[in-house]
């Protein structure tokens, strides 16, 4: 059983009892390259193709959750969205139309927004959960938890303490052209921004991404990159400036995912985690 299955069971129980849930400097060092399926209980955006009448139709985005990108399994119910916003290539905000939940994903419409140069972000409400020791082990492997976190977990287990966590998810999507971002743009708890190149990102070109926590660079953060047409996941770790630099070999759609997990801040407190799932496009 994977982590998503465990979360579903906990949430189902909560609903029944209390109506809950509703390398070189600047270069990436690959920590691992694996063709095994990821246990990626992530929530991400995907652009919905508009077909021949694309120019006359509003930008449509799918938002959902799945165990392995790019296959959705569950929609994000609109009531669980704490924040939803979109900007164009100049950083101008656009109004989003009410989300509509389908069987596997939720559809968000953004009238008037160019499908090539845009950025949209969704932040979900935080939720609390308790995991069994076996599932915690899977979880720590999935997010590439470091020795310091594992040491805290070992101490907790020795004291007979359960693993209780409060988690929050952020999803961002960008088109082929990364938009400009004014300094006044709202900071997200965990986010990814493309630093370079400033135009269209093409296969084989060098790209720079920055991971931010509350608007500040997050150093030494493990992240994984997944392509929608290939099973391999590329693991990397951000440098001192919170950045990774990589040449993406394949065109298509990519997902950059990561989890910033923090141990309890005090006795009896929960672990705190922030998820980011950043989808972007690479041209041929």
How far CA 255 is from CA of 24, 75, 199, 204, 226, in Å, comes to 24, 18, 19, 17, 5
Q: Is the confidence at residue 184, as pLDDT, over 60? A: no
Q: Give me the pLDDT at residue 148, please.
A: 96
Q: Give me the pLDDT at residue 115, please.
A: 81
Q: Give me the pLDDT at residue 1, please.
A: 37
pLDDT band for position 15 (50/70/90)?
very low
Q: Distance between CA atoms of 283 and 117, rounded to whole angstroms? A: 13
Q: Is the confidence at residue 23, as pLDDT, over 80? A: no
**Who has greater pLDDT, 238 or 248?**
238
Q: Is the confidence at residue 183, as pLDDT, over 70? A: no
pLDDT band for position 154 (50/70/90)?
very high
How does the average pLDDT of the chain come out, rounded? 82
Mean pLDDT of 130-155: 95
Q: Is the confidence at residue 262, as pLDDT, over 90? A: yes
Q: Give me the pLDDT at residue 101, please.
A: 87
Contact 203, 281 (CB under 8 A): no
**Who has greater pLDDT, 168 or 1?**
168
Q: Give me the pLDDT at residue 182, please.
A: 54
Q: Distance between CA atoms of 94 and 169, rounded to whole angstroms? A: 22
Mean pLDDT of 74-78: 92
Radius of gyration of the chain (CA): 19
Mean pLDDT of 155-159: 95
pLDDT band for position 236 (50/70/90)?
very high
pLDDT band for position 64 (50/70/90)?
very high
Q: Distance between CA atoms of 284 and 272, rounded to whole angstroms? A: 39
Mean pLDDT of 221-244: 91
Going 208 to 71 to 74 to 63, the CA torsion angle's sign is positive
């Amino acid at each position: 059983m994977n982590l998503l299955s465990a979360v579903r069971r906990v949430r189902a129980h909560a609903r029944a009892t209390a109506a809950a849930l509703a390398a070189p400097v600047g270069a990436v060092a690959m920590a691992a390259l694996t063709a095994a399926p990821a246990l990626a209980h992530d929530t991400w955006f995907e652009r919905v193709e508009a077909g021949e009448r694309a120019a006359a139709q509003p930008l449509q985005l799918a938002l959902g959750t799945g165990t392995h990108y790019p296959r959705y399994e569950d929609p994000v119910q609109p009531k669980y969205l704490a924040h939803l916003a979109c900007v164009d290539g100049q950083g101008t905000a656009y109004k989003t139309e009410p989300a509509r939940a389908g069987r596997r994903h939720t559809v968000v419409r953004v009238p008037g927004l160019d499908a090539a140069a845009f950025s949209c972000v969704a932040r979900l409400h935080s939720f609390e959960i308790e995991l069994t020791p076996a599932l915690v082990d899977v979880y720590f492997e999935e997010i590439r938890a470091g020795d310091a976190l594992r040491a805290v977990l070992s101490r907790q287990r020795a004291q007979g303490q359960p693993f209780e966590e409060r988690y929050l998810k952020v999803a961002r999507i960008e088109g082929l052209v990364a938009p400009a971002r004014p300094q006044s743009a709202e900071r997200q708890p965990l986010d990814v921004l493309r630093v370079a190149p400033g135009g269209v990102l093409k296969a084989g070109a060098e790209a720079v991404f920055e991971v931010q926590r509350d608007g500040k660079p997050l150093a030494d953060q493990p992240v994984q990159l997944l392509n929608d047409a290939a099973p391999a996941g590329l693991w990397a770790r951000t440098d001192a400036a919170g950045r990774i630099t990589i040449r993406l070999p394949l065109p298509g759609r990519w997902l950059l995912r990561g989890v910033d997990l923090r141990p309890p801040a005090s006795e009896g407190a929960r672990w705190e985690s922030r998820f980011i799932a950043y989808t972007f496009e690479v041209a041929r």
